[in-house]
Amino acid sequence: MQNEYGSGAFGDFAPIGADGRPILDYPFSWSWGPRMEGQAYTNWLGQPDTYSAHGNPYEQFYQNGYSASNSVAFEGQSEKGSFRMSITDENRRGIIEDNTLSKQTINIRGKSNLTEKFSIDGKMTYLTSKVKNRPGLAEDGANTALQLSLMPRDIRLSDVENNTVDANGQEIKWNLDNTFNNPYWSQNNVKNIDEKDRFQGIVSANWDVAHNFTITAKSGMDYIVYDYTNYAARGSQYQSNGLGNYGHDSGKSRVWNSDVLATYNTNISDVRMTLSLGSSYRDEYSSYVNISGNDAKVDNLYRISNYKNSYSSEGISEKGVYSFYGLGQFSYRGFLYFDATLRNDNSSALPKENNSYWYHSENMSLLFSKLFGIESNTFNKGKLRGSFAVVGNDTSPYRTQAVYNVDQTVTLPYTVGSIPSSLPSFDLRPETSESWEVGTELGFFDNRLQLDFTYYETKTKDQIMAVPISGGSGYSSKVVNAGVISSKGYEFQLNSVPIVTDNFEWNLGFNFTKSNSIVESLNEGLESITLNSLNAVSVEARPGEEFGSIYGYDFLRDNFGRKLITDDGVAQKGERIKLGSITPDWYGGITTRLKYKNFSVSALISIQEGGEFYSYGRAYRMFFGTDARSLEGRETGVIVDGINENTGFVNETPTMAMLNQYSNIFTNEIATDQILDASNVKFKELILTYYFPTSLVKNSFIQSGSISAIGRNLFFFHNAAGDIDPEAGYSSDPTGAALEHSSLPSTRSYGLNLKINF
């Protein structure tokens, strides 16, 4: 954030409107006004004021969050069975006012040996949670981080807080753009509540038919009921044109999994083997009812009857999968191990002809240090392992059938039907993924130095996805077996204990991962699959390229890569090219732990080298002029690096800094300057722990205990992207991390953890 220039444009204040307030329409609601020198001016409310900066609005707006979690557990055991129960209560408060989470969990587990050969086991978890006021994100007008990051630098946050609604009940803002809210207005008037109850239960019966033959039957359920309501009060243009709105979604989902497994153990000379045969059925069911409305009749009532327009929708989804499988485990003299599995699934989500698919896997490991008898104190463990696996997968239900929806209408005398925007696939095949890996584990000096290395290759074929397609087809996406993606990489891990004495121990570990995915081919003649997009930037899969290439408009350049500049000194929009990739060159981490008597300190540092992301948030702050980088050339103009398109000489014509940003970012949508390097070194975690000495607790009912101070996400040792956290993605999937848009500030957290075992 810069603190030198306030609201206005072209170095001037906004014109004053008939109501005595400045007319803060674009571009005058940006921070491209005169230099702030404490001069007298009319502020955004139309009051005389002095023109100066007022600090960091983030610090003033956001509060410290906290979280507290308490749990107790009881346990009992006898020959006849065992019983355990635990209860956890968790409460959190976010950095935004009224953003809270409350969650309670109860766990019960019991086991009973009915006879010597027959036992039953039951487990139940009940979880209830209530989250209030999840914050709005990205382009959402109620995203407070976006509003604050773009607020002209001369505006006092307290003025914004004290002026949210006018006499007519309309929202007051510093900006006429109706796609933004006053952050305090949205904090006070845009609300949501998310309630969820979850029940997980599983019962199993175990029958020892003979001493080496058992049959186990299990049946388990995961049942979730949710209820989500959200509303916005009347009075803000962004929220349903000032009419206010309300939504209430409720639904349930149930996953029921039952299986039977017969297991046989035997030894044939030096070979121990376990053979199993089994079968299972999995049923996934969910349903929802959503209602929404707009145009509130009276204020402060958030129930559907209070809305002049109301809409509703409902749906049911169900899928079934039958599986049959066999497993075999063999070991020879404790140094050679071999496991194999074979499995067949039959899913209702795939078309009848293709609904059956197979899995298999083979794993072998050899403890060669034992085989060759070379184990010693210096070299105590040597293991080689290799595996091969084929995994099949289905998809979500109802993607193989063409259907028509019947539209909800209230006033029309005729029926309106519609066709879903996503095309089904009638000949969908199951996904398959083939992979193999080899690795080694080595231990030295009684495992004080351990090395683990793995190399792997994976080939995923026929991945099922709804691929966005040309609008010219009439549809927005089609479900397809997308193509072939191959990945390879290696992982390396080193753990060591350089020093250990009676009272002192030092642990040090490193890990390193390098992975690379290539799109080998795409089916159905697709030239590209857009995985995610924001503004004119997209993350794509194109044949022959890395999975997750970032595409966007570049500057117009000559054959030597120099920008071509107009006579006015302005850069121009060029081709749409690959500007980066989401894949880092490598990433890794360092962990260390020092323990002295009852004290320990542990730390975790993460490192990422390479990979890029696009920051639309940065782009916004640049052309709104709030970013410190936008200060360049404010008084003198900016001379853009490049050559004049007409003369061929180096450009010497200055252009106004504001127009330069506006033209590149907003008008021409050139993304090159907002593609940021994601390389960083982050201090992820620091934990200080004190273990209560046994002498202290010996005579009490406490068995052991500890107290820890924890700090997470502490700081960056190095961050190539400067003020933006590369992990603050736009959406949660891997491709979303490549797109950032005015995310909430990343939080550093500190905590205390007291653990007592009775």
Q: With the CA atoms of 676, 679, 685 and 686 taken in that order, what torsion angle do they form, in degrees rounded to the nearest 10?
A: -120
Nearest residue (CB) to other proteins, 128 versus 346: 346
Considering the complex, what minimum distance in angstroms separates the CB of residue 171 from other proteins? 12
CB of 327 to other proteins, least distance (A): 19
**C-beta of 76 vs 315, nearer to other proteins:** 315
Nearest in space to 1 (alpha carbons), one of 139, 143, 137, 148 = 148
CB 481 within 8 A of CB 414: no
The residue count for the chain = 758
What DSSP character marks residue 168?
A: T
Distance CA 463, CA 467 (A): 11
| Least distance (Å) between residue 316 CB and other proteins | 5
Cβ-in-10-Å burial (0-12, 13-18, 19+) of 711 comes to middle
In sequence order, the β-bridge partners of residue 371 are none
Distance in Å, CB of 233 to other proteins, minimum: 15
Considering beta carbons, is residue 255 or 687 the nearer one to other proteins? Answer: 255
CA–CA gap between residue 645 and residue 566 (Å, rounded): 6
Choose between 343 and 478: whose C-beta lies nearer to other proteins.
Answer: 478
Question: From residue 678, how far is each of 619, 681, 723 by CA, in Å?
Answer: 16, 10, 12
What CA–CA distance (Å, rounded) separates 86 from 296? 45
Reference 734, options 680, 688, 678, 690; nearest CA is: 678
Residue placing its CB nearer to other proteins in the complex, 351 or 734: 351
Give the nearest distance from C-beta 67 to other proteins in angstroms: 38
Minimal distance, residue 625 CB to other proteins, in Å: 13
Angstrom distance (rounded) from CA 630 to CA 669: 17
Q: How far apart are CA 444 and CA 382, in angstroms?
A: 9
For residues 24 and 721, which CB has a smaller minimum distance to other proteins in the complex?
Answer: 24
H/E run at residue 623: helix 616-624
| Nearer of residues 177 and 609 to other proteins, judged by Cβ | 177
Distance CA 543, CA 457 (A): 18
In angstroms, what is the minimal distance from the CB of 630 to other proteins? 17
Please state the closest distance from residue 194 (CB atom) to other proteins, in A: 24
Nearer to other proteins, 65 or 351 (CB): 351
For other proteins, the closer of residues 61 and 551 by Cβ is: 551
Nearest distance from residue 332's CB to other proteins, in Å? 33
Question: Please, which residues bridge with residue 85 across strands?
Answer: 74, 108
Q: Which residue spans within 79-189 are E strands per DSSP?
A: 81-93, 100-113, 118-132
Query: Which CB contacts under 8 angstroms, 24+ apart, belong to 653-656?
Result: 653/565, 653/567, 653/568, 653/569, 654/569, 655/568, 655/569, 655/570, 656/10
Nearer Cβ to other proteins, position 668 or 680? Answer: 668
The span from the CA of 40 to the CA of 34, in Å, is: 12
Segment (H or E) for 322: strand 307-332
Query: DSSP for 570-587?
Result: -B-EEEEEEEEES--SEE
- What count of other Cβ atoms lies within 10 Å of the Cβ of residue 247? 18
* Complete DSSP assignment for 335-369: TEEEEEEEEEEEETTS-GGG-EEEEEEEEEEE-HH
**Cα gap 356→432, rounded to integer Å:** 12
Distances (CA, A) of 548 to 163, 512, 621: 45, 21, 26
* Residue 175 C-beta: closest distance to other proteins, Å: 9
Residue whose pair of structure tokens reads 């197979």 in the numeric block: 358
Which residue's CB is nearer to other proteins, number 609 or number 669?
669
Report the nearest approach of other proteins to the CB of residue 126 (Å): 29
Least separation in angstroms between residue 675's CB and other proteins is: 15
User: Quick one: which of 521, 518, 527 has its CA closest to 549?
Assistant: 518
CB of 575 to other proteins, least distance (A): 10
Closer to other proteins by Cβ: residue 420 or 751: 420
| Residue 19 or 116 having the CB closest to other proteins | 19
